[in-house]
Amino acid sequence: MPSASWSTVQLAEFLEVFEVLEMLDAENMTRIAVDRVAAAFDAEVVALVLDETVIRCLGFPADAVPVRLLRSASEVRSSILNAPGIGEVHSVSASVSTAGCTMVVLRAGSPFDREEETLVRSMARALGLAMTATDRLTESRVLAERLSERQYLSDRLSQIQKSISHRAPLQEVMDSITQGAAELLGADVVGLRIVGLGDDGRPIASLAGYPDEGLDHFRSIPLNQGFSGGAFVEGVLVSTGDYAAAARTLGTAPQELIEAAMAAPVHHDGRIVGVLNVASRDVGRVFTPAEQEILLRLADHASLAVTDAAAVHALRDSLEGERFKASHDALTALPNRTTVLEMIEYELHHADPAAPLCVLYIDVDRFKLLNDMYGHSFGDRVLIEVASRLRNAVREEDLVGRLAGDEFVVVAPGISAEAAGALAQRVTLEMTEPLVLDGRGTQVSVSVGVAESAAGLSSEELLGNADVAMYRAKTSGRDCVVSYDVQMRDEMFERADLEQEISLGLKAGEFVPLFQPSLNLATGEVHSLEALVRWNHPTRGQLSPDAFLALAEDTGLIVDIDLCVLDEACRRLAGWTQLHPDLTISVNLSVRHFAHPEIVEFVAEILAKYRLHGSRLWLEITESMVMANNEMTLEILRSLRSLGVRFMVDDFGTGYSSLVYLKRYPIDALKIDREFVDGLGNDLEDEAIVTAIIRLADALGHEVIAEGVETAAQQDWLIQSGCLYAQGFLFSKAISADATEVLLSQALTVENGLL
Ligand code: C2E
Ligand code: MG
Ligand code: MG
């Protein structure tokens, strides 16, 4: 009879089995436990019964386990049974686990006493606990394995993620995805293709487990084709364990040796932009749901990489755009001032001292006027055309830039000043081609300044010199080329001072008109008085228009000068009305007035102020104004005409008036330019021109006035040719208002000798 100590020892020994539990799997553990139980009780049979089955049995051969007998034994605590091959046996059963596992112990000898029964139950219980623990352990081991797999997966993914967030090149990220997929899924071939991001319109691709040579072919396969095409078209994961059959179904040629395959779509911006596909050559291989999950995760990462790369692309594009914007002019896309200066600076440092650098400073003539007359968008298109003509005119190695407004520059490296002058001529020639924009023909000319680099000169200084030369080109009549020389700089400063002085002079009332009469050659009477501005300069004395008019035109100060002259001329004329109620006056108007309708109001105000009828006023306009054939100009002329004001085309013959325009405009008189009057009596050509002008005026019903008449021969010729009116030093120079008053108070005939 076993003693209490016996059972304690047995149990302790039994439990020892489980101390090495960690090294045991469930299988081994139950085997050892059953052995121990059998030994402890000297039993013939020990079995573990679970539900309908015997999961372990000691004492019967494996193929002759009396399942029913053992099951029935398991259902009662103790009984006596007849075991096959053994005979009568005592049985004891005890529950091993709550899951329904029972231990059955059969002994042929003595029956089990209470202590033994208790020990059987204790051992069963211990085994139960150990088995649970083992299960847990297995579970946790599986878990641990899974965890480490997951750890690996997540390591892999975070590695990919990191390369994405570190802005690794997309190709690199894609390679790490395909590499990761090959490792994580144990796949033989992994491919990833993404469309819409490559520069050549072809997909970006990455292959793992495939020779590099295959990449090009892989890129050329349309993404919607083949087995993986399903993922691209449907936007879902596709998987097959029978690749050949899948390929047959699709009607595509199966790739050799591929057994299993799956593919997942790659997304960007709500669209499918790529496919991640894996393939295995392992016979019987099927990708499990977990593996499919991994593929989806990897495809997600590819999507992330694409989205990021697209963002980087966009960012880079916009950065490049920003950089371009910062360095180029938006209208013409030419390098801007900063870039031009950088270029000059660079060239100055790198230029061969033997081959100098030249800079051409180019300014469009009368651009502001063009802009004012036809509108800014027309002006813009002129500038674009000028930019393109400049590009045509220069050499390949020259840089064309836009400095501001209508100012352009050509940086010409390795060129002599002489060659640069020739280049500049080519530029002016390129501009002579008539320009037709919006069906409107116009003519563009440029003034060009050329400057050559010299030791110690900075980019700013070189450009400045070219600017100075350009300024000189402007003042020398525009549409020409001038090369820089040192004195020009002083003149430039003088001009800046002059501009300032004109402004001050205007405020101080220093601009006043002189008056030059024009005469009726038939009667010798004064026909009209032309107001010609003079500047009573505080230190330089009285200045003629040629000393300040060009600058006043350029700066726009001429508008105020004209208004000042107009006001004073009308004031004077009003004063002379009593004596000569029909006397008229003519005032020169700059073309600048015809861009703004304010002149109409101003003239109306002045006429009202001095109580003059509009017919007492002539306005002298130039041929270029007529030629502009601009609606606003026409509108202004008509409005002024409605006040009774008459118009005279000054310097007629020097421009290129179109007869159509002459007819269209409300013109009353043509003033023959002095240039043609000069040759009257000795130059047949001049005489022919003047004759033509007289006939033209006659045909159009206009008056005709010859200006600059200096000799009696010219006067005679004019009288002979039917020119009724004349003006010139032969009769009178321009004289002050006071002198005019004296003249008017005396007599108004040539005979009285106005000179
Ligand atoms: P313009 O309107 O053709 O004026 C005639 C110019 O020829 C005047 O020069 C006059 O003094 C000069 N002149 C007149 N008769 C003779 C002559 O027989 N021989 C020679 N050699 N010259 C003669 P001025 O006063 O120096 O004016 C020059 C130009 O300046 C004018 O040419 C006109 O275009 C412009 N101008 C004058 N005053 C004004 C003004 O108030 N406003 C505007 N916008 N321009 C003006
Ligand atoms: Mg005039
Ligand atoms: Mg004139």
Mean pLDDT (10-residue bins), the chain, 755 residues: 59 67 68 88 93 89 90 90 91 83 92 84 77 61 60 74 68 87 88 80 85 83 88 91 84 77 87 92 86 87 77 65 80 90 86 81 89 83 93 88 94 90 93 83 91 89 92 85 89 84 96 96 92 96 94 90 97 94 96 86 97 97 76 89 96 77 87 95 92 92 96 96 96 95 72 45
Identify the burial level of 109 via C-beta atoms within 10 angstroms of its C-beta, where 0-12 means exposed, 13-18 middle and 19 or more buried: exposed
DSSP string, 619-631: EEE-HHHHHH--H
Q: Nearest to residue 735, comparing CAs of 524, 500, 516?
A: 516
User: How does strand 446-452 pair with strand 481-483?
Assistant: parallel
Phi and psi angles of residue 514, each rounded to the nearest 5 degrees, phi first: -100, 170
Indicate which residue's Cα is closest to atom 7 of ligand 1. 708
- Which SS3 state, helix, strand or coil, does residue 336 take? coil
| Cα 45 to Cα 60: distance, rounded to the nearest angstrom | 7
Q: Which ligand is nearest to the CA of 673?
A: 3
Crossing angle of helices 289-327 and 337-350, rounded to 10°: 80
CA of 4 to the centre of ligand 2 (A): 144
Task: Dig out the tokens for 662 from the structure.
Answer: 């002459």
CA of 593 to the centre of ligand 2 (A): 15
| Cα 285 to Cα 244: distance, rounded to the nearest angstrom | 13
C-beta pairs of 50-54 under 8 Å, 24+ apart in sequence: 50/99, 50/100, 50/101, 50/102, 51/100
Number of H helices, E strands in the chain: 25, 26
Strands of 407-412's sheet, edge to edge?
Answer: 399-404, 407-412, 358-364, 446-452, 481-483
Is 532 touching ligand 1 by the criterion CB < 6 Å?
yes
| Cα 243 to Cα 344: distance, rounded to the nearest angstrom | 66
- Which SS3 state, helix, strand or coil, does residue 707 take? strand
Q: Nearest to residue 556, comparing CAs of 351, 366, 352?
A: 366
Q: Does domain 6-129 have CATH number 3.30.450.40?
A: yes
Chain-centroid distance of CA 495 in Å reads: 40
- Ligand 1 pocket, mutate which of 502, 532, 558, 586 (most atoms under 8 A from CB): 532
| Cα 472 to Cα 369: distance, rounded to the nearest angstrom | 20
CA geometry: angle 293, 299, 305, nearest 5 deg:
145
Is 203 touching ligand 1 by the criterion CB < 6 Å?
no
Distances (CA, A) of 23 to 29, 134, 258, 339: 9, 10, 40, 77
Task: Dig out the tokens for 190 from the structure.
Answer: 């992994």
Tell me which DSSP letter residue 577 carries. T
| Cα 451 to Cα 464: distance, rounded to the nearest angstrom | 9
DSSP string, 169-237: -HHHHHHHHHHHHHHHHT-SEEEEEE-S-STTSSPEEEEESS-TTHHHHHHHS-TTSHHHHHHHHHSS-
Q: Which helix (H) or strand (E) holds 245?
A: helix 243-250
Do 120 and 112 form a contact (C-beta atoms < 8 A)? Answer: yes
Q: Provide the strand spans (E) within 76-165.
A: 78-83, 87-95, 101-107
> What's the confidence (pLDDT) of residue 315?
62
> What's the confidence (pLDDT) of residue 217?
85
CA of 678 to the centre of ligand 3 (A): 13
Q: Nearest to residue 302, comparing CAs of 220, 189, 203?
A: 203
53 contact partners, CB below 8 Å, separation of at least 6? 67
Do 670 and 649 form a contact (C-beta atoms < 8 A)? Answer: yes
**HSE value, Cβ hemisphere, 13 Å, CA-based, for 432:** 7
Of the chain, the end-to-end C-alpha distance in Å amounts to 168
3-state helix, strand, coil in the chain (%, to 5): 50, 20, 25
Q: Which helix (H) or strand (E) holds 454?
A: none
Indicate which residue's Cα is closest to atom 37 of ligand 1. 532
Tell me which DSSP letter residue 738 carries. H
Give the alpha-carbon dihedral of 179, 183, 189, 194, to 10 degrees.
Answer: -40
Q: Which ligand is nearest to the CA of 516?
A: 1
Residue 630 Rama label (left phi>0; alpha psi -120 to 50; beta): beta
Indicate which residue's Cα is closest to atom 19 of ligand 1. 708
Q: What is the CATH number of domain 147-311?
A: 3.30.450.40
| Cα 726 to Cα 719: distance, rounded to the nearest angstrom | 9
Q: Which ligand is nearest to the CA of 654?
A: 3
| Cα 276 to Cα 191: distance, rounded to the nearest angstrom | 6
Distances (CA, A) of 259 to 223, 281, 283, 720: 21, 5, 6, 114
Q: Nearest to residue 379, comparing CAs of 442, 426, 473, 433?
A: 442
Is 568 touching ligand 1 by the criterion CB < 6 Å?
no
Q: Which residue has the tokens 């050549």?
A: 200
Do 171 and 208 form a contact (C-beta atoms < 8 A)? Answer: no
Residues with CB under 5 A from ligand 2 (ion): 588, 620, 650
Same fold, 6-129 and 147-311: yes
554 C-beta neighbours (distance < 10 Å), count: 18
Taking the domains of the chain in order of start, what are their residue ranges? 6-129, 147-311, 330-485, 514-525+556-745
CA of 692 to the centre of ligand 2 (A): 21
Is 335 touching ligand 1 by the criterion CB < 6 Å?
no
Is 37 touching ligand 1 by the criterion CB < 6 Å?
no
Indicate which residue's Cα is closest to atom 29 of ligand 1. 545
CA of 653 to the centre of ligand 3 (A): 10
> What's the confidence (pLDDT) of residue 21?
52
| Cα 383 to Cα 289: distance, rounded to the nearest angstrom | 67
Indicate which residue's Cα is closest to atom 35 of ligand 1. 545
Fold of 514-525+556-745: TIM Barrel (3.20.20)
| Cα 519 to Cα 243: distance, rounded to the nearest angstrom | 110
Q: Nearest to residue 481, comparing CAs of 403, 408, 412, 425?
A: 425
Indicate which residue's Cα is closest to atom 34 of ligand 1. 588
Q: Does domain 330-485 have CATH number 3.30.70.270?
A: yes
- Radius of gyration (Cα) for the chain, nearest Å? 54
Give the alpha-carbon dihedral of 16, 137, 286, 154, to 10 degrees.
Answer: -140
Q: Which residue has the tokens 């008053």?
A: 741
Is 728 touching ligand 1 by the criterion CB < 6 Å?
yes
608 contact partners, CB below 8 Å, separation of at least 6? none
Is 734 touching ligand 1 by the criterion CB < 6 Å?
yes
| Cα 719 to Cα 130: distance, rounded to the nearest angstrom | 141
Is 569 touching ligand 1 by the criterion CB < 6 Å?
no
| Cα 141 to Cα 153: distance, rounded to the nearest angstrom | 18
CA of 515 to the centre of ligand 3 (A): 14
Task: Dig out the tokens for 682 from the structure.
Answer: 């000795």
User: How does strand 617-621 pair with strand 584-588?
Assistant: parallel
pTM: 0.51
